[in-house]
Amino acid sequence: MYSLEEIQNLIDKAIENLEIYREPKELYEPVHYVFKTGGKRLRPVLTLMSCNLFSNNVDEAVIPSLGLEIFHNFTLLHDDIMDEAALRRNHLTVHKKWDQNVAILSGDVMAILAYEYITSCREEILVDVIRVFNKTARQVCEGQQYDMNFERVLNVTAQEYLKMIEMKTSVLLAGCMHIGALIGGADSKNAELLYKFGHDVGMAYQLQDDLLDTYGNTEVFGKEIGGDIVANKKTFLLIKALEKADEKQQIEIHHLLKRLEDNPKKKIRVMKKIFDGLGIQELTKRLASHYYISALKNLNKVRVPEERKIQLKQLADTLLTREK
């Protein structure tokens, strides 16, 4: 079995060795820039760990795992255009560093590179790998569309929100687990259990994200707490608060949502007080735990020796108790 560190080293080395610089350079320079400037590499890590559950040799999964990472980076690149984001991982976004056309086209070629890498797996499992990835990739686009729709809609239900984060985040983590398992030689039943594991870890991870932005520890979190509240972002916390609020609290929340710039600290303080009154933090933690437990249940059902699962359990723990 590989340790997390060994897996991360494998991935870093593979990315370093990847020949991305092709002609025309105007097309591939931004791909290189986006792909090589970091991120947590969570998707390839999950892919290799899932493969490693079933096989002691994860080499075959390395290039496909980078395909999943490059697909993720492609979606971020295009999302950043749509959101007009200027920074990503403390670097200028591609459409800011170059221009929008470059960002569109480099993104497109990244999507194709993703397919190239992912379909480099062995022939015997190719049909299944493609089927999983096609579906996953389509759902990620659908998730992004739901996310954009929400910006224009007043009332988003908690159910709709969960569906959105499922599509936008969870299915790709699930797809990584599924594909990693297939490459490792898992049968379809085990592979599907790992899909579910990845799915539920993704849901818990995303809820944790919402929690951290409001309830995180500023020093550990690394950025100001309350950004979501200030920006009126429709997080699970806000949606659930609106759902549970009585008439008076509803008015209070809507009043706060109208306050944009004047006193952000006060806005955060008052909104948190409303959240607290409604037990939003607890309720969100409970839901995240529910997903976490469900993830572990599915991992428990996977028919491999228990000691092989330790790494994945540890990773899930780390992701879900993280403070940043």
For a copy of itself, the binding residues (CB under 8 A) are 22-24, 26-27, 75, 78, 81-82, 101, 104-105, 107-109, 111-113, 115-116, 119, 123, 126-127, 130, 134, 137-138, 141-142, 144-146, 148-149
CA–CA dist 31, 275 (Å, integer): 41
Which of 205, 223, 224, 173 lies closest to 68, judged by CA?
173
Cα 129 from chain centroid (whole Å): 20
CA–CA dist 60, 324 (Å, integer): 32
CA–CA dist 119, 70 (Å, integer): 13
* 226: region left, alpha or beta (phi > 0 left; psi from -120 to 50 alpha): left
Q: Which is nearer to a copy of itself, 11 or 113 (CB)?
A: 113
Least Å from the CB of residue 235 to a copy of itself: 20
Q: Which is nearer to a copy of itself, 16 or 123 (CB)?
A: 123
DSSP strand pairing (91-92 vs 87-88): antiparallel
Q: Look at the block and give the residue holding tokens 């299915």.
A: 171
Least Å from the CB of residue 137 to a copy of itself: 5
Asked if residue 201 lies in contact with residue 173, where contact means CB atoms within 8 angstroms, the answer is yes
Q: Which is nearer to a copy of itself, 138 or 255 (CB)?
A: 138
Q: Which is nearer to a copy of itself, 31 or 45 (CB)?
A: 31
Least Å from the CB of residue 107 to a copy of itself: 8
Q: Which is nearer to a copy of itself, 104 or 315 (CB)?
A: 104
Least Å from the CB of residue 31 to a copy of itself: 10
Least Å from the CB of residue 154 to a copy of itself: 16
